[in-house]
Structure 1
């Protein structure tokens, strides 16, 4: 067993003291800096966003490249994950977290003893994950827990300690922990990925590269998987240009990048809006690793950069690149198609949207979802291409995708706008049948248009639906219905729905009541008006 530090482990969150046993390489903690770390969660342990885990090398070699490599630059802020944000924590975990958060570091071990809690290695992991804000107390807990099961902590718990120290900017102590892991033969790429992420989050890219250079001294090979972990950490913090420089340096040292390497760089360019950098990286990728149908993430990021940051010329250029990819049996994925359609919707450009859709939808693994169909159908409707919009809806059903309320409402809105009243009636009936609720605006517009066209039957059907589904507010639409029915010489219907509105507590305007009174008085039916008035006043 490593020699125990003579001084009791003090809290990083209070003042500098010695690193607690079982670390073999004691080093005083640096004073807690005022600057807080930049991420809430432990960084990924490989170039993809994955949890810390012992066997991260195997995980990071997975070739499912359609998954995003990097979550983008994190928001900088002082907050850490806290047990207070986890309402469903087991009682034991919550108790231990409360002790670490509320007890002075010097009294943590005594408080833990008094709690009388029996723990196992899994409990240590759960508590450490939620104790980043109290690093000194967390380390005291780590030592205290280890004494209860022979210091056989899991590799994941050790990696959390390394990550906890790094995220609190205690880098010398972090390296002490890394050395202790080496002595215990627990060190892995997961450990170094945490080191990379902590240095990168602290805006210290040079130290990220330094850590990479010494990996082999700790028994972790400097291979392409480790390279990708470095690239991901640097790009995630907005230093893609530095990552490119490091990639070039690694190539000179005979570490050959793979498609994932360029996918990471291209995603960094996308996040930073670097069109020139994206083009350079893409062309280099094509030369060095070739065209690969599985490298969807790289193609997505490259084309998305052109579309998001290149304006209308960027869209045209992206479409040309898609053609070039298709010639080589490669294609971007749904990420690019969705973003491109969003940009085309903003521009109201149905022509280019149709071109892109025909090139990509249901081809080479690009499977649109209901949201993308919604955008496409909206664009076609804006472009007055109703027949094409219907074709899109039929295509959805063919591929087993059910149109949602947004799609139905888009279609109904433009059918009403184009005064295609028979088609709009069919669409409304289909929506009701499929339980896709028309919006209040569409119902009000439809009721007004059908009344203007003299179709009182359809207007009444819409009104009944609005009342049944309580599509409030109803008073303006209801008064419109009553006045229009009166104007259409349908006084009995007008009185019936006026009485129904009064019973339901829907306000009748004084002008509406006045017109009804005049008409009913002329017909000698003043008593009916009095009945409606009494019901209106009673509600």
Structure 2
């Protein structure tokens, strides 16, 4: 089958030639420098030492942002304190997550860990490293890692999923197909699950025509299931061809499968994006008539779409419709409801949902729930209440803050002018206490805010850090910063920004 599949793929030009083979933020005036981790971050709110936290802080503190991966490796190799640390899979995973947007530091740290006597990286660590390299468009290094994993018999379908997604996301969909074609060499099977993985990868990146051709080649060898057709329904909707999505539902029935809640909800989502709520309500009624009632995801999809077009009253009616239908709400539904109430200015009602209704019916909040509440409170200038919720979240055993948690809080610092005090503390907590890696959105928010707050030097230092971490600033960020440093007569900085912009 493999040879037949390869020849068919080549005949429609599917395959190309084979090629597989720390930081702590500290702001003083306008500075933005690296400082050692503070001791308080080693302990939880109860005063108990957090297992491995000290070790993570030590390792992060040794890595200089912007160093090459070999420099990071050598730095850790010759450091006695680092080499006295007893490695565990959990510690290495946390270290890699910390460097999620800094592939050089992640690769150097991974190689150092792998070189340590008595320690062997877990398959999860390899998967994470593959994903980081693919995310940062280091495709050749990602392939080298995959080859190393192949030789060590560490490749799982989860690994393949990450590699395919990164290839397709980098517009190298042919390489994603080749990976599927080589599955047996990784010790994996070509079956319905792996076929669906390839089709889903291609459809999500809008290569649905190619996915369809591959499916037609494979279906005589690999039986499709209901998920296969749901993948195509999503794919057609993703490229605004809803008629083909409806046709796929008929094809699905022809293969003996009944359309599911997922099938209908995908098409409902398409109509929501088109603001065609008449068709949405028609489909909701059709689902009930077909004995396939909407679930919490369906209602959340509709409510979220009404929220986007600021149809708050209709969105709240959807909430009532869910409860009337006897459908049990979930955390995602409540997250959306809180957002709707916040946007509608009903802050007290949102707080009641969070504090009373959710606990009453046994629905636990997650990080996004807290993020919704914090964003709402910041939007309504209730910064202190937002900070109280942040502290509650930090003490929670259910969830912890992520980068999104801090966005509205950082914005509120610029609105209130609390830059030297609160902004510095929040940044310190993000990087040192929670080991969050700033992404392009966080850097952009900070640079724009600092420029407007007349903190050009601090903003420029952030710009330089982005470059060292291979995170490319957006053009408008460069333009804003360039104008600011020129106004401050920072000629050297202006020259470096201009040189960088020429490469964009």
Higher helix share: 2
> Larger RCO: Structure 1 or Structure 2 (Cα < 8 Å, ≥ 6 residues apart)?
2
Q: TM-score, normalised by structure 2?
A: 0.48
Q: Which has the larger radius of gyration?
A: 1
